[in-house]
């Protein structure tokens, strides 16, 4: 694309009063109809396109990033000299920005797998959950018996084309741990996977003497009857348990294969939002584009799950304003307090303040910095807040408390029931989260081209001016529907998604 | 074996003043030459075989478990009514029980693999270490390309018979973590594996943007030049990195295969001691038998590593008495204080006091309870104390600080350089720890028979009276030599040992 024809700015949201300079803009550059820059604007920085009176909120991503500390005219540079958070951080302003979501006139559909209980799956796997690391290898051996041979192409599941595979979900914990929240959290995670709609059948394998007893897991997670349970010690060791596991899978393959895809409304989408390996472009390309797609998901009646609590920290006031009730907002505030205690106890630190480097790059306030990640969730109301790995049942924009670290965060989201995951990355992440397909969104074209085997969408076109944020958002939404209908993602082509199962490890290892 | 001919008691160590009732002993049962029980002795309880004056130490496992609170005559029941710890717990008595180790007249040998740097390996693997979970699946895909097909038996390494395999060491951490001890500990662990003698060649694979940068790992662990490093982001994604990894392995296979086993002294053994899934027999069969074998290893000039700090807690006074210096003893005491802080911070509790159930089963003091696990290390001097995953360089009995949880503990021990691991289990554990072979010791015959596919040694013969503790100890020692010489363990026959790689997770996940 010819550099001359590129628009000089990026508009992140239709309602924004500022736009972002794509490169250094000399004074007199046209940035909106009838608006030209009144000074040199550094690359990545903000320029006003509408007038702001002193004290008026300034919006980016359609959301408040602070308040004008003096009158700002269209064409003026907006940064620390005329923009600040003011008393914003002291006022949760519960729900003041909540507003009805405008539904779409013609709801979209996809080809989903309707389960007997009414839930809709996007994939059809057989799962093996493990209570403890001590049963991990046995679970792997069972899954291995059904794995396509990468050299010969021989596929033990060839006769059951509607079965996507056998997934062993193994981890490093489950014993040498304290009861209480560390164990409950692990059980929520395992329970969430065990009842995930993308599994037709699930085996639970334990050793027998672990702290995380399968009996307790089943009871706490109300899973009795849903799973085939096996204890290695009871079965008489490795060989017999592996054989029993293989026999079980063979026994259920015919039934598992009997699913058929049917047309279902897009409201059945439950999309986990994730970013990892972020770069300076994340906040102006892939994340806002995913936010535009998230708004579409919600307008079509579906659910998006924002997480990564440390990246929301300091900007929770943005979300409390969008909360549908004070109760929902309060849950988020409580989570942020918990994080302060957790990190203090562990000798770590919560600090979301923009660094000098952030400021040089054009970020003025904490809100703006956090929005770089939070933009993935778009602009609709916050309808619910849940703990790590809790079932997500609300329709709309839901927040789940998780760390920012991708595998741990995504594991909580998939446990919560996400049947699709969208992952934005600037540096380039390779990621999967079986049984849920993971769509990877590149923030910039050079990385997209370098890692094309792994990237599903190039959002770098926003930077080059080939597409608007909204256009890329619509493209992502269409890919969500296609992926949910069975189209393979790049990460599925490499069989990603078992190694990345990573329940959050809380508490002491004894 | 005829029940009538079974000796009624178990002698755990030649120097013990008490023996253990194999079953309920009526008054008048002969328990030693010229000694008969003067009262009914419950099963698993202690009976004196020598006289003790008031205040005299009482020994079990050759070690002090407390002091006579009144005179004890041969044949008397020994329990809480006449045995207590007294002021023992307040006195570290640095080194008072240290004494010269009696070397064996004719040192044993095994067939080891002598590396260029002089170290001796017991296996010959090619390793893939990963800096972060984000590179786990790529590492797995490389290892998979060299895995024997369990269905067809096709072995991609058939032409290189001296290569034991390609091991991908993957984990769930490496990013979203704080620098400081959590990161240093992970790097010690990865560094210990990267330089393990049982690896001929090692690749290190990272994503590129993780907290645990490979550059920092190499520098901190002084590994520069030893490893082939790959960053997925630099290489251009999954396909190219996997191909480069496969190419590297193919490139080094010829050289890796060039090793030959040669006769080396048993002093080259470095044996990690581990127990898991313990039962009431652990402390009277497998653990003391392994202790007898440990004493042989040390008398032959080798090293044994005791760990599982929570199981030593409250009995550290036993080990400070056997420490070769006050400095070595002090390191152990410092570790126990660290554990008090760690568990308090995490809302867990250190409590080694015998429970009412323990007491009913015959355990009188903390020392005795902890010795149930510590007995694995035998009776020689404590020559060194190291932190988790630190290199073990001393010859003799070394303590390494680890949790009791098997995979996490063993991972630290193997990182420290253990070239053999012995694992006692009562309930029946299935375990491996590549690149180090793991010998499994059953505490009782019924479990051994039920899980014979997984168990290498039956120590239940001590309980049935077929063998003495010392006899089983000698049998274990001979199996150590055979295993170190290349004989496969049960767990190696099932390819255990990659899933169980589990670095200790300290600190917050962000
Ligand atoms: Ca992030
Ligand atoms: Ca993330
Ligand atoms: Ca071979
Ligand atoms: Ca233990
Ligand atoms: Ca253990």
Closest CB from A144, A176, A452 relative to B405: A176
**Complex-level ipTM beyond the 0.85 threshold:** yes
pLDDT of B168 over the 80 cut: yes
CATH for B125-257 (1.10.10, 3.40.50, 3.30.1360, 1.25.40): 3.40.50
pLDDT of A26 over the 90 cut: yes
Which pLDDT belongs to residue A384? Answer: 98
- Using a CB–CB cutoff of 8 Å, tell me whether A276 touches chain B: yes
DSSP strands (E only) in A232-343:
262-265, 270-275, 303-306
pLDDT of B5 over the 80 cut: no
Task: Report the distance separating Cα A220 and Cα B206, nearest Å.
Answer: 38
Ligand nearest to the CA of B404: 5
Q: Are the Cβ atoms of B348 and A508 closer than 8 angstroms?
A: yes
Cross-strand pairs, A35: A32
pLDDT of B61 over the 90 cut: yes
- Using a CB–CB cutoff of 8 Å, tell me whether B388 touches chain A: no
pLDDT of A427 over the 60 cut: yes
What is the band of A2 on the pLDDT scale with cuts at 50, 70, 90? very low
DSSP strands (E only) in A361-503:
382-386, 396-400, 420-425, 438-442, 457-458
What is the band of A409 on the pLDDT scale with cuts at 50, 70, 90? very high
Q: Are the Cβ atoms of B407 and A133 closer than 8 angstroms?
A: yes
Write the DSSP string, B440-498. Answer: EEESSHHHHHHTTTT-SEE-THHHHTSS-HHHHHHHHHHHHHHHHTTPPPHHHHTT-SS
CA B68 to ligand 4 centroid distance, Å: 28
Helix (H) or strand (E) holding A238: helix A238-256
pLDDT of B52 over the 50 cut: yes
Task: Report the distance separating Cα B214 and Cα A403, nearest Å.
Answer: 23
Under CATH, which architecture does the B3-84 domain have? Roll (2.30)
pLDDT of A425 over the 50 cut: yes
Which pLDDT belongs to residue B293? Answer: 98
Inter-residue contact B443 to B288 (CB < 8 Å): no
List of residues 6+ apart from B225 with CB closer than 8 A: none
- Using a CB–CB cutoff of 8 Å, tell me whether B233 touches chain A: yes
pLDDT digits (tens, 9 = 90+) for A195-254: 999 999 999 999 999 999 999 999 888 887 778 999 999 999 999 999 999 999 999 999
Task: Tell me if the bond preceding A435 is cis, omega within 30° of 0.
Answer: yes
Inter-residue contact A207 to B277 (CB < 8 Å): yes
- Which of A83-97, A115-129, A155-169, B198-212 shows the lowest mean pLDDT across its residues? A83-97
pLDDT digits (tens, 9 = 90+) for A279-333: 989 999 999 999 999 999 999 999 999 999 999 998 999 999 999 999 999 999 9
Which pLDDT belongs to residue A40? Answer: 96
Which pLDDT belongs to residue A4? Answer: 46
Query: For the domain bounded by A125-256, which CATH number is listed?
Result: 3.40.50
pLDDT digits (tens, 9 = 90+) for A481-501: 999 999 999 999 999 999 999
What is the band of A179 on the pLDDT scale with cuts at 50, 70, 90? confident
List of chain A residues whose C-beta atoms are within 8 Å of the C-beta of residue B138: 430
Closest CB from B346, B405, B499 relative to A140: B499
Which pLDDT belongs to residue A1? Answer: 40
Closest CB from A156, A175, A505 relative to B505: A505
In B, residues 408-467, which contact A (CB 8 Å cutoff)? Answer: 408, 427-432, 447, 450-454
Enter the tokens of residue B334: 């410092």
Three-class secondary structure of residue B204 per DSSP: strand
Closest CB from B172, B348, B502 relative to A510: B348
In A, residues 301-330, which contact B (CB 8 Å cutoff)? Answer: 310
CA A263 to ligand 4 centroid distance, Å: 54
CA A303 to ligand 1 centroid distance, Å: 20
pLDDT of A5 over the 70 cut: no
Task: Report the distance separating Cα A370 and Cα A349, nearest Å.
Answer: 16
CA B54 to chain A, closest CA, distance in angstroms equals: 37
- For the residues B73-78, what does the mean pLDDT come to? 97
pLDDT digits (tens, 9 = 90+) for B33-46: 999 999 999 999 99
Of the candidates A357, A297, A389, the one whose C-alpha atom is nearest the C-alpha of residue A103 is A297
- For the residues A147-161, what does the mean pLDDT come to? 88
Task: Report the distance separating Cα A89 and Cα B290, nearest Å.
Answer: 62
- Range(s) of chain A covered by CATH 2.30.130.110: 3-84
Q: Are the Cβ atoms of A237 and B432 closer than 8 angstroms?
A: no
List of residues 6+ apart from A302 with CB closer than 8 A: A266, A267, A268, A269, A270, A271, A395
Q: Are the Cβ atoms of A209 and B138 closer than 8 angstroms?
A: no
pLDDT digits (tens, 9 = 90+) for B174-231: 999 988 999 999 999 999 999 999 999 999 999 999 999 999 999 888 887 778 999 9
């Amino acid at each position: 694309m010819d550099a001359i024809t590129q628009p000089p700015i990026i508009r992140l949201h239709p309602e924004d009063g500022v736009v972002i300079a794509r490169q250094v803009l000399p004074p007199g550059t046209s940035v909106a109809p009838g608006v030209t820059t009144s000074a040199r604007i550094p690359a990545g920085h903000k320029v006003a396109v509408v007038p702001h009176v002193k004290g008026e909120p300034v919006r980016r991503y359609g959301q408040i990033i602070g308040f004008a500390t003096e009158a700002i005219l269209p064409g003026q540079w907006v940064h620390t000299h005329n923009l600040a958070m003011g008393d914003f951080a002291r006022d949760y302003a519960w729900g003041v920005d909540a507003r009805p979501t405008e539904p779409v006139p013609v709801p979209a559909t996809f080809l989903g797998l309707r389960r007997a209980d009414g839930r809709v799956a996007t994939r059809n796997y057989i799962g093996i959950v493990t209570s403890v690391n001590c049963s991990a290898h046995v679970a792997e051996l069972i899954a291995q018996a059904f794995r396509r041979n990468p050299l010969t192409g021989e596929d033990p599941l060839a006769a059951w084309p509607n079965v996507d595979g056998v997934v062993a979900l193994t981890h490093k914990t489950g014993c040498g741990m304290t009861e209480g929240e560390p164990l409950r959290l692990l059980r929520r995670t395992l329970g969430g996977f065990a009842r995930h709609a993308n599994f037709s059948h699930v085996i639970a394998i334990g050793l027998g003497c672990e702290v995380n007893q399968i009996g307790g897991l089943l009871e706490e997670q109300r899973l009795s009857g849903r799973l085939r349970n096996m204890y290695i010690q009871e079965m008489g060791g490795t060989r017999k348990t592996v054989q029993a596991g293989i026999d079980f899978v063979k026994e259920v393959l015919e039934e598992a294969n009997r699913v058929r895809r049917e047309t279902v409304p897009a409201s059945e989408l439950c999309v986990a939002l994730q970013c990892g390996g972020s770069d300076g472009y994340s906040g102006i390309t892939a994340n806002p584009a995913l936010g535009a797609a998230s708004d579409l998901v919600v307008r079509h009646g579906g659910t998006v799950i924002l997480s990564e609590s440390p990246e929301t920290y300091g900007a929770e006031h943005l979300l409390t304003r969008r909360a549908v009730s004070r109760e929902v907002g309060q849950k988020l505030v409580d989570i942020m307090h918990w994080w302060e205690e957790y990190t203090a106890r562990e000798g770590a630190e919560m600090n979301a303040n923009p660094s000098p480097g952030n400021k040089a790059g054009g970020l003025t306030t904490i809100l703006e910095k956090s929005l770089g990640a939070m933009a993935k969730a778009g602009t609709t109301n916050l309808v619910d807040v849940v703990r790590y790995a809790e079932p997500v049942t609300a329709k709309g924009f839901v927040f789940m408390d998780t760390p920012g670290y991708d595998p741990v965060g995504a594991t909580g989201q998939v446990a919560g029931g996400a049947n699709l995951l969208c992952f934005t990355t600037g540096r380039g992440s390779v990621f999967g989260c079986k049984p849920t397909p993971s769509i990877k969104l590149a923030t910039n074209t050079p990385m997209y081209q370098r890692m094309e085997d792994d990237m599903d969408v190039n959002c770098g076109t926003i930077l080059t001016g080939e597409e608007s944020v909204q256009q890329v958002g619509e493209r992502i939404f269409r890919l969500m529907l296609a992926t949910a209908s069975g189209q393979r993602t790049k990460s599925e082509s490499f069989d990603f998604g078992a190694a990345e199962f990573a329940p959050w490890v809380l508490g002491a290892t004894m």
